[in-house]
Structure 1
Amino acid sequence: MRAPRPCGVCGAAGAAKYRCPRCAAAYCSVPCCRIHRERCTPEPEPEPGRSAAGQASPGGPSRPAQQGASPWSVEDILTEDAEQDRVPLQKLKLLGESEELRGLLLNPHLRQLLLTIDQAEDKSSLMKKYMQEPLFVEFADCCLRIVEPPEKENILPE
């Protein structure tokens, strides 16, 4: 298991759950990500003699962003502890393609709720509170319908 890392921006011990896709620096939240993004300079490829081989081979050791593939991976989002709750990347991509979800995210109140959760220390209790808010429930239900479509019930004819 990977040990928790300190945030490279704010220094919060063991809080860095995310990594920069360009330089692999660790950070803990959206605000820290934004600060890091302004300062980020990708690290040069190690071992210059090997970099040409790494770039030529799609399965090589170089990072995906340098190969034109997705700029981040599931490892950048989840720690090993969260692996059991992982949603497959293909299903996560469906969230970005959903017009219904995009429409909901146009609501500034919902965006503020999501930002508040992201910045909260106690996310769990805040989520419980927000699950009483109809707009947040609509958002959560929409996300769940996208990543886990409801199965058709087996209805027996009478």
Structure 2
Amino acid sequence: MRAARRCGVCGADGAAKYRCPRCAAAYCSVPCCKAHRERCAPQREPPAEERAAQRGLSADSAWSVADILTEEDEQDRVPLQKLRLLGESEELRGLLLNPHLRQLLLTIDQAEDKSSLMKKYMQEPLFVEFADCCLRIVEPPEKENVIPEL
């Protein structure tokens, strides 16, 4: 579990669960987000070549997980190699052919409150199947200690 930070808007200690995607400032609620958004000045973005060099990537690479995670979030990081496995999975590709699943994912992507929508969608069997498939790919279950039959 990650340690909560102080809200950069209202100052509530240990309440900031969210970060501004433009400047990475911590905030705790929708009202604080709105207040921050009115005065947000994004941090200077280093050139793509500089960011890529810092991460050991080529300049034409797309964003990496390092672009959105802070040091505090490192425990939640999924290595890029494992994320690439998602794109190689035939099972996952088969699931993504379902237009209903694609619509659910699009709705989540466009939602303001992604967390509550995710909780709602975790009641949908198709979405649970998708989430389980993704987890099996990036975190394969460990093999149990099984005694072979003689």
Question: Normalised by the size of structure 1, how large is the TM-score?
Answer: 0.56
Matched, 1:114 2:108: no
Partner of 2:117: 126
- Identical positions, percent: 74
State the secondary structure of the residue aligned to 2:78. Answer: coil
RMSD: 3.7
How many angstroms does 1:117 deviate by?
1.3
Question: 2:48 and 2:140 mapped to 1: Cα distance?
Answer: 43
State the secondary structure of the residue aligned to 1:149. Answer: coil
How many angstroms does 1:109 deviate by?
0.9
Structure 1 window deviating more from structure 2 (108-117 vs 75-84): it is 75-84
Q: What is the one-letter code of the residue matched to 1:114?
A: L
Question: Normalised by the size of structure 2, how large is the TM-score?
Answer: 0.59
How many angstroms does 1:73 deviate by?
2.4
How many angstroms does 1:121 deviate by?
2.2
Partner of 2:93: 102
> Does the Cα contact within 8 Å between 1:117 and 1:126 map onto a contact in 2?
yes
Which runs of no fewer than 5 residues in structure 2 stay unpaired?
Answer: 9-18, 24-33, 38-44
| Larger RCO (CA within 8 A; separation ≥ 6) | 1
Question: 1:91 and 1:62 mapped to 2: Cα distance?
Answer: 17
Partner of 2:79: 88
